[in-house]
Amino acid sequence: MSKTRFRIGSGYDFHPFVEGRRLFLGGVEIPHARGLEGHSDADALLHAVADALLGGAGLPDIGSYFPNTDPRYKDISSLLLLEKVYRLVRGKGLAVGNVDVTVIAEVPKIRPHVEAMKANLGRVLYVSPDQIGIKATTMEGHGAIGRGEGIAVHAVALLEVVE
């Protein structure tokens, strides 16, 4: 491991809406007419956080560990996947300093669910919820997200070398 004390990772995920699925973001089921399409529970927020952690640790992306062709991950909770990612990151001698997340969506409203999302992330990543930022923005009606066709999430993670 290098002598660097901190490492930064960035993650991004997008999932289109689909009929007949429940919507999960940040490990929270959010009441909505449609869910997100994906092999797991399609929690774009947790997938972006996982990729940010993996990137900061210099590890391959989430799809390398949990391929969408593997039936073991069909409809699995992304909280379970994030727990596995956390163990990989800790195995590299790193701990989470903080995580910052931006959800890009026209619908649904995220604010009522932010504290529950932060609690989930804090529990899985062994940090205080005040070390996690979650906010939302819209595309002001432009593009696929602006038309309400899906949700995108960008996440940044600061990792500390603890060995």
DSSP conformation letters of 58-88: TPPPHHHHS-TT-GGGTT--HHHHHHHHHHH
pLDDT of residue 19: 97
CB within 8 Å of 8: residues ≥ 6 apart:
56, 156, 157, 158, 159
CATH topology for the 6-161 domain = 60s Ribosomal Protein L30; Chain: A; (3.30.1330)
DSSP conformation letters of 22-34: -EEETTEEE--S-
In the chain, the percentage of residues whose pLDDT exceeds 90 is: 97
pTM across the whole model: 0.96
pLDDT tens, the chain, 163 aa long: 457 799 999 999 999 999 999 999 999 999 999 999 999 999 999 999 999 999 999 999 999 999 999 999 999 999 999 999 999 999 999 999 999 999 999 999 999 999 999 999 999 999 999 999 999 999 999 999 999 999 999 999 999 999 7
Per residue in 111-150, pLDDT tens?
A: 999 999 999 999 999 999 999 999 999 999 999 999 999 9
Q: How many CB atoms lie within 10 A of CB 141?
A: 10
Domain ranges of the chain: 6-161
